[in-house]
Amino acid sequence: MSFFQPWALFALASLPILVWIHTFLQQRRRLIVTGLFLWDERRQVPTAGRIRRRPPISWPLLLQLLAASLLSLTVALPRLTGESSVLEWYVVLDRSLSMSAGDPSPRDRAASWLEEAAAQAGARVHLIGSGERPVSLGVAESSGDLGDLLADWRPELLGSSLEAATFLALDLAGKSGEVLVLTDSLEEPITGVRWGAFGEPRDNIAWIAAARWPEPSGGTQDIVRLEVRSFAAEERSVTLHLDGEEPLRKQAITLAPDASYCWTLKAPALIGDLLARLEGDAVAFDSRLDLLSVREPPVRVRLESDLTGDGRSAVERALDALTDWRLARPGERPDLSITRNVVAGDARMIWHLGPLGSGLASGEGKTLAGPFIVRAEEPLTREVSFEGIVWPSVRELRGPIRPIVDVGTRVLLAESLEADVPTLLLNGDLGQSTFPDTVGWPMLVSNVLDRARQERPGLEPRHVLPGEPVTVRATSGSSVELVDPEGRTVQLPGSPPQVLPPMSRSGVHEVRQGGETLGRFAIHAVDAKESDLRSCESGWIEPEASTPAVRSATVDVQDPTALLIALAALAWLGSIVAARREVAS
């Protein structure tokens, strides 16, 4: 037997209270006798101190205890266990963002209805969240369980598909279960599915796109681009705001139905986070967007002393052509150490430029002129061409490596697999090579800087749509925590770097490691389809085919409430009769 409302079993606490009441009444039911010794063979102990009393077991008490127990069980809504006797509901919960529109939202109304209906029906409820990949939110055996599980129903997805979840529910329900879909609009009926819509048509104006990026060519401004659209039935006015710590810009606009407006503006890069908001729109979920600062600190580069001659000149020339880097100050941990053979222990990344020493390479040096084999999809060689380049003094690399560019027998560019920090090896004598004279060289240096930037702890990208991946780069060691917009902290499993599990809660999320912030990212719940609430409605579509016979066939068997109430009433009546009989005697 299971209980749909097990909290009601707390009513069983009334049993000791009943015993206590009887004991109390019994104590009051004193009978003065003139020869107590005639009532017992043994003499009684005078009433000094406390007397241990046996519970007053009597028929009225026993019957009242029985009645109280039965009533408690009745309120607890017991269900007989066994597959054939339990009403099973497979409920698809729409997780699309539009379910959160308004207060109360369609999600709130649907959840309330489900809790009440399940309690009345005494059903076991299987919750399935909608989406491209439906998720099980759990099985509720009791109303308490259901409440807890429904707390995890957060409509955050964009364009969440109900179809996959509905067919999954149909598969799971088989012939014995009932499938319900709780959403905010009525759609084409599906055989065997009870469709409940809890939506409400609303006018809405929403952000449908947002972006912030640094001004090109090293400017000090960020460019912000926002797009707003009206999903109202009539022309509507709204005020656009862009705020930093203080209000930055605002603009009042009037939008015709389905009209859009692009708001492009510049903001100082150092202003930090921005908030784009709409004033004059009642639906909140798509009216606020966080635009985080997108500026990364420059890559700290250290040119080691063993890098001399033409090779050093080539590196310095390429760096001069690039931005977002600076030389590491003394005592500062460099993000990238460029060297010939020095193993810089404190650098986050090392780039060895040839000619490499015997610790890194061996054998006679060969001059290579291609053709070079470049690994596909390799970020380091992105937009770098090696054609027509002559590489002298290319030796054989030592140790386990991951070749990136090679000629088959000799490797030109590789990544060491045995170093503690990411280590790149550029084989050959760079000073004698023709490569620094090509456009590919500064591109390679730029790619290496990008790689060094990526090796720093942090995360990317900064702005994502619900469900889009976010990659966290963290040092190994202490665990990584994710703080969601409500301030709740979740410890992330696995070791860094890692891709965060798909998230959909809009707002600013923060990733921490060892108490320090690794980075922040904002999820933008912007989607034209979700923001269009004009087609939302409420109502029910009953299944065409009659849903499972389980309801009519087994409801009497699985719901012993009436029987329990009858037994409890009988027990109580019995206790009254017994008590009267006792009094009469």
Partner 1 sequence: MDRTSVSRELARFRLAPPTRLPHGQVGELRTRGLGSSSEFHELREYRLGDDIRRIDWRSSMRTDRWMLRLYREEIEPRLDVIVDASLSMGAFAVKASRLRELVALLKGLATRDGFRARARRFADGGPDDAEGDFDLDGRLDLAEGLRRAPVSGAGRPWRIVLSDFLFETDPRQLVTSLASGGSRLSLLQILTARELRPDLHGFYRLVDAESGTEKMTAIGPQEIRRYRERLQRWNAELADVARAHGAQYLLLEADRPLGELARDVLLPAGILVPAGACR
Q: Which residues contact partner 1 by CB under 8 A?
A: 26-27, 29-40, 43-47, 51, 53-54, 56, 58, 581-582, 585
**Residue (of 349, 342, 253) closest to 300 by Cα position:** 349
Output 43 or 488, the one with its CB closest to partner 1: 43
Our CB check for partner 1 shows the closer of 32 and 262 to be 32
**Cβ closer to partner 1: 30 or 175?**
30
Query: Beta-carbon neighbour count of residue 122 at 10 Å?
Result: 21
Report in angstroms how near the CB of residue 571 gets to partner 1 at its nearest: 19
22 vs 202, which CB is nearer to partner 1?
A: 22
Residue 495 CA to its chain's centroid (Å): 18
| Contact yes or no for 274/212 (Cβ under 8 A) | yes
Q: Which of 18, 129, 136 is nearest to 70 (CA)?
A: 18
Between 45 and 262, CB nearer to partner 1? 45
Strand partners, 326: 300
For partner 1, give the closer residue by CB, 25 or 233: 25
Six token digits for residue 511: 């990733």
CB atoms within 10 A of CB 277: 17
Q: How far is the CB of 46 from partner 1 (least distance, A)?
A: 5
- Shortest distance, position 578 Cβ to partner 1, whole Å: 10
Judged by beta carbon, residue 544 or residue 582, the one nearer partner 1 is 582
d(CA 257, CA 339): 62
Smallest gap from Cβ 20 to partner 1, in A, equals 15
Q: What are phi and psi of 265, to 5 degrees?
A: -155, 170
- For 69, other C-beta atoms within 10 Å of its C-beta total 20
CB of 567 to partner 1, least distance (A): 25
Measured CA angle at 75 (ends 72, 76), to 5 deg? 85
Whole-number Å distance between alpha carbons of 202 and 534 = 5
- Least CB distance to partner 1 at residue 579 (A): 9
Residue 26 or residue 438: which is nearer to partner 1 going by CB? 26
Smallest distance, Å, CB 489 to partner 1?
Answer: 60
Cβ-based neighbour number of residue 158 at 10 Å: 22
* Min dist. Cβ of residue 14 to partner 1 (A): 21
Q: Closest separation between CB of residue 25 and partner 1, Å?
A: 9
Give the nearer residue to partner 1 in terms of CB position, either 376 or 584.
584
Q: Give me the least distance between CB of 34 and partner 1, in Å please.
A: 4
Contact 56, 117 (CB under 8 A): no
Distance (Å, rounded) from C-alpha 364 to C-alpha 492? Answer: 49
Whether residue 169 contacts residue 33, with contact meaning beta carbons closer than 8 Å, is answered with: no
Q: Using CB atoms within 10 Å of the CB of residue 337, give its burial: 0 to 12 exposed, 13 to 18 middle, 19+ buried.
A: buried
As a residue count, the chain comes to 585
Minimum distance from CB of 64 to partner 1 (Å)? Answer: 14
| Least distance CB 16 / partner 1 (angstroms) | 18
Min dist. Cβ of residue 33 to partner 1 (A): 5
Q: Kindly state the smallest distance separating residue 123's Cβ from partner 1, in Å.
A: 46
H/E element holding 165? helix 163-173
Looking at residue 328, the DSSP 8-state letter turns out to be: P
Of 56 and 159, nearer to partner 1 (C-beta) is 56
List strand residue ranges (DSSP E) for 141-285, in order: 177-183, 193-198, 205-214, 221-230, 236-243, 247-255, 260-268, 274-279
**Residues 350, 339: Cα–Cα separation, whole Å:** 7
C-beta of 13 vs 51, nearer to partner 1: 51
* Peptide bond just before 371 cis, omega within 30 deg: yes
- Listing DSSP states for 213-244 in one string gives EEPTTT-SEEEEEEEEEE--SS-EEEEEEEES
Which lies closer to partner 1 via its Cβ, residue 42 or residue 175? Answer: 42
* b/e 529-548 (16+ beta carbons within 10 angstroms → b): ebbbbeebebeebebeeebb
**Closer residue to partner 1 in complex, CB, 24/213:** 24
Q: Which is nearer to partner 1, 27 or 251 (CB)?
A: 27
Q: Distance between terminal CA atoms of the chain? A: 41
Token digits for 359?
Answer: 């610790």
Look up residue 406 and give its amino acid. Answer: D
- Which pairing describes strands 78-79 and 2-3: parallel, antiparallel, or unpaired? antiparallel
